[in-house]
Amino acid sequence: MTDPNEPSERTVEAERTVCPFCGVGCTIEYAGNETTTGVEGPVNTRGEICPKGAAAFDVVTHDDRLTEPLVRHNGRFVTAPWEEALNRVAERLGRIRDDHGADAIQFFASSNCTNEENYVFQKIARVLGTNNVDNCARLCHSSTVAAMGERLGAGAMTNTLDDLSETDCLFVNGANPAEQHPVAFRSYLLPAIRDGASLIHVDPRANDTTEAADVHLPLEPGTDIEVANAIANVLLEEELVDDAFLAERVTGVDAFREHLASVDVEANARAAGVDPEAIREAARLFGEADRGAVITGMGTSQHRCGTDNVHALLNLALLTGNIGRRGTGVNPLRGQNNVQGASDVGALPGVLPGYEPVTDPDARARVADEWGVEPPAEPGLTEVTATHRFGEDVHGAVVFGENPAVTEPNATAVASAFDELDFCVVIDLFETETAAHADVVLPASSWAEKAGTVTNTDRRVMRMRPNATLPGNARRDLDILTAIGRRLTDVPEEFEYDGPEAVFEELTRVAPIYAGMSYDGIGDGYQRWPFPVDAEAGTDVLHTETFATGERTAPLSAVDPTPPADTLDTGELTLTTGRVLQHFNSGALTRRSDRLMAMRGEDVLQIHPDDADDRGIEDGDTVSVANERGEVTVTADVTTAVRRGVVFCTFHYAEPLVNTLAGDALDPVAEIPEYKHSAVRVEPVAPPVEAD
């Protein structure tokens, strides 16, 4: 916190903006006294927020904020003037490009930052001559986007939060919206449940979402395909499918039936460790519902078979005709406040702004018309693959608002890989664990110090507005990026913008899905893509008459299970990871909030009483969790919320660094890591002391 004895030179005022945390996109503003409050916005129509939104200001005035550029001299960081720091960035990255080509540099974009910032960021990479730009969408829903893109032609939520409140059945697979998308859960999903909608929760753990569930399938991590295929089998066997929809809108039905004939519900239930009767009950609830909606999250997507997991869920929606109507669909709840937007504006290695493939010459030519430089035609590296190649063919990195040394799998190896680079610049609010391996660190702007737009989970573009001035010599992210673009590229004039609105205008010309949007049009409300809403269909729901592929039909696609990469030796347990309400991702922001830390201040390992007993572990004991990649010590929370054989931990803390335990396996299609299944040994750190 700021020193109360020092008069603060920072002015603070209330301006409607968007919460910096999750993809729900609640509207908040400064409320005085270093706090924020929810105000009525497009999503939180009654001004409702969760504890993170309420604590958002804590980070803005935190003492740890970077206020000067840092440049490494003889191994140590020293503060430096902006000119020197920026020149060093341009000179060193320029040298890497000259020596090895632009593809030797990796650009880590920020799903925590605005559309305008990410648009400029990917433009720097592409103008420089590389498609090596990626964002955290890689780590959350890249598999979802891949499967949905292939089958339906669009990787975003098919439906809107608003219409999901009209559903009759929620099929929530590997997501915990009660904690991770709290306002969406309380204001859109719970009302549907109170109106009689059923909830099926497919999750190895019982958590806050499970409390509202009619059926809980506590599957073994990594067995989602077994469960979804068993449900598909029951749907077909018990004639719970929508024959009219299958006839009109679906192809591959016969081949799918044939494939599913070999699926045995009992055997799949056994493999997943769930009750076959519960699978049947789930199938009946979903199949008999007039409107059934699938909601999917990280438990589905973060496996080496993440793309297939989503294919298996898409089958359930297509079989039951639950696509293209209100209250239905397949709905990935997006992660950070702008992970949807960072992807929309082209911070991905395979697509240009608006998801046009880099391999499409017409799309490249359209971009070249605007930029005067044609983007390269070869898709770039995804972010985890890139870190695996640091020091080999990748020699430089620009890390913008990401903390891969904490959040990528096998994190200790990732941190060392950063030391293999010739040059790394980090643009962040704090001296992060990744910054510790950088050569230059640039002090950036928090959510409260910038203007721009972000795109929430149901594709709504909303405006952010500054509530505070910058601390010390920190600069706005957009100013930092344009300054780098002007120094580093051969087209400095392409990085002269008169503020974020001018960037947005360019974006609407380059990205077809944003065409026609404007700051004025958005105002205090929102504009949703595809824009404008199709007047004929009269709805914001996708795929109503045709799929986004342009086709009237989408295919069923049979998938078989893939075993996780880690196999369990005797005595080992399966570690799966995830989130809690009070903390956010790497914890960079939430660990620094006293009020959030007071609510939940440490990481714990959830472990089943029988597994704890076997190891002589009691509730509250310090335990070691280890495998060949690393070890962490953490407090045991002995609970029946997790199934036997499975332990659960968050990854919100740099200490313990849980991601040291996650493996390098990637989904072959989307290159998403297998965060949700690692083999670990769990032991008490010291033998329990007998109390007399």
Ligand X SMILES: Nc1nc2c(c(=O)[nH]1)N[C@H]1C(S)=C(S)[C@@H](COP(=O)(O)OP(=O)(O)OC[C@H]3O[C@@H](n4cnc5c(=O)[nH]c(N)nc54)[C@H](O)[C@@H]3O)O[C@H]1N2
Site membership for ligand SF4, residue 183 (CB under 6 A):
yes
Of these, 173, 328, 331, 340, which contacts ligand X (CB under 6 A)? 173
Residue 37 Cβ vs ligand X, minimum distance, rounded to whole Å:
19
| Helix orientation angle between 477-488 and 115-128, rounded to the nearest 10 degrees | 10
Nearest of 289, 343, 19 to residue 181 by alpha carbon: 19
Site membership for ligand SF4, residue 421 (CB under 6 A):
no
Beta bridge partners of 332: 296
How far is Cα 681 from Cα 347, in angstroms, rounded to an integer? 38
Beta bridge partners of 133: 107
Site membership for ligand SF4, residue 652 (CB under 6 A):
no
Of these, 12, 26, 128, 145, which contacts ligand SF4 (CB under 6 A)? 26
Residue nearest to ligand SF4 (CB): 53
Site membership for ligand X, residue 113 (CB under 6 A):
yes
Site membership for ligand SF4, residue 104 (CB under 6 A):
no
3-class secondary structure, 153: coil
Question: Where in 322-361 is the site for ligand X (CB under 6 A)?
Answer: 335-336
CA angle 216, 222, 227 (to 5 degrees): 50
Beta bridge partners of 673: 666
CA distances from 131 to 122, 383, 491, 514 (A): 8, 11, 17, 21
| Helix orientation angle between 361-371 and 115-128, rounded to the nearest 10 degrees | 100
Residue 2 Cβ vs Mo ion, minimum distance, rounded to whole Å:
31
Q: Which stretch binds Mo ion (CB under 5 A): 135-143, 350-358, 444-452, 587-595?
A: 135-143
DSSP code string of 72-120: EETTEEEE--HHHHHHHHHHHHHHHHHHH-GGGEEEE--TTS-HHHHHH
Is 53 or 376 the residue whose CB approaches ligand SF4 more closely? 53
Of these, 299, 324, 466, 485, which contacts ligand X (CB under 6 A)? 299
Site membership for ligand X, residue 204 (CB under 6 A):
yes
Residue 614: partners with Cβ closer than 8 Å, 6 or more residues away: none
How far is Cα 496 from Cα 511, in angstroms, rounded to an integer? 19
Residue 432 Cβ vs ligand SF4, minimum distance, rounded to whole Å:
20
Q: Which option in Mo ion, ligand SF4, ligand X, none does residue 295 bind, with CB closer than 5 to 8 A by kind?
A: none
Q: Which option in Mo ion, ligand X, ligand SF4, none does residue 180 bind, with CB closer than 5 to 8 A by kind?
A: ligand X
Q: Which option in ligand SF4, Mo ion, ligand X, none does residue 637 bind, with CB closer than 5 to 8 A by kind?
A: none
Query: Pattern of binders to ligand X over 214-243, x per CB under 6 A?
Result: -----x-xx-x-------------------
Q: Which option in Mo ion, ligand SF4, ligand X, none does residue 25 bind, with CB closer than 5 to 8 A by kind?
A: ligand SF4
Is 115 or 131 the residue whose CB approaches ligand SF4 more closely? 115
Q: Which stretch binds ligand SF4 (CB under 6 A): 45-53, 197-205, 554-562, 621-629?
A: 45-53
Question: Where in 313-342 is the site for Mo ion (CB under 5 A)?
Answer: 335
Beta bridge partners of 576: 648
Residue given tokens 């496996």 in the structure block: 303
Is 25 or 561 the residue whose CB approaches ligand SF4 more closely? 25
Nearest of 405, 456, 388 to residue 41 by alpha carbon: 456
How far is Cα 651 from Cα 649, in angstroms, rounded to an integer? 7
Could you tell me the two tokens for 601?
A: 């201040």
Q: Which option in ligand SF4, ligand X, Mo ion, none does residue 659 bind, with CB closer than 5 to 8 A by kind?
A: ligand X
Of these, 89, 415, 658, 680, which contacts ligand X (CB under 6 A)? 658
Site membership for ligand SF4, residue 192 (CB under 6 A):
no
Site membership for ligand X, residue 577 (CB under 6 A):
yes
Cα R_g (the chain), whole angstroms: 24
Residue 369: partners with Cβ closer than 8 Å, 6 or more residues away: none
Beta bridge partners of 648: 576, 606
Of these, 17, 25, 452, 504, which contacts ligand SF4 (CB under 6 A)? 25
CA distances from 27 to 14, 154, 341 (A): 12, 27, 17
Site membership for Mo ion, residue 404 (CB under 5 A):
no
Length of the chain: 692
CA angle 202, 207, 209 (to 5 degrees): 65
Q: Which stretch binds ligand X (CB under 6 A): 238-246, 253-261, 350-358, 426-434?
A: 426-434
Site membership for ligand X, residue 457 (CB under 6 A):
no
**Pair 428, 128: CB distance under 8 Å:** no
Site membership for ligand X, residue 112 (CB under 6 A):
yes
Site membership for Mo ion, residue 672 (CB under 5 A):
no
How far is Cα 54 from Cα 39, in angstroms, rounded to an integer? 11
Is 221 or 578 the residue whose CB approaches Mo ion more closely? 578
Of these, 133, 140, 345, 507, which contacts Mo ion (CB under 5 A)? 140
Counting residues that bind ligand SF4 (by CB under 6 A) gives: 12
**Pair 445, 416: CB distance under 8 Å:** no
Counting residues that bind ligand X (by CB under 6 A) gives: 62
Beta bridge partners of 55: none
Q: How many CA atoms lie within 13 A of 19 on its CB side?
A: 36
CA distances from 264 to 229, 268, 271, 602 (A): 9, 6, 11, 43
**Pair 402, 136: CB distance under 8 Å:** yes
Q: Which stretch binds ligand SF4 (CB under 6 A): 50-58, 60-68, 105-113, 209-217?
A: 50-58
Site membership for ligand X, residue 579 (CB under 6 A):
yes
Residue 50 Cβ vs ligand X, minimum distance, rounded to whole Å:
8
Could you tell me the two tokens for 333?
A: 């709840």
Q: Which option in Mo ion, ligand SF4, ligand X, none does residue 165 bind, with CB closer than 5 to 8 A by kind?
A: none
Query: Pattern of binders to ligand X over 9-28, x per CB under 6 A?
Result: -------------x------
Site membership for ligand SF4, residue 178 (CB under 6 A):
no
How far is Cα 62 from Cα 585, in angstroms, rounded to an integer? 18
Which positions touch ligand SF4 (CB under 6 A)?
Answer: 19, 21-22, 24-26, 49-50, 52-53, 182-183
Residues within the interface to ligand X (CB under 6 A) = 22, 110, 112-113, 136, 139-140, 173-176, 179-180, 202-205, 207, 219, 221-222, 224, 297-300, 302, 335-336, 400-404, 407, 427-430, 432, 444-447, 477, 576-579, 581, 583-586, 588, 648, 651, 658-659, 662, 675-676
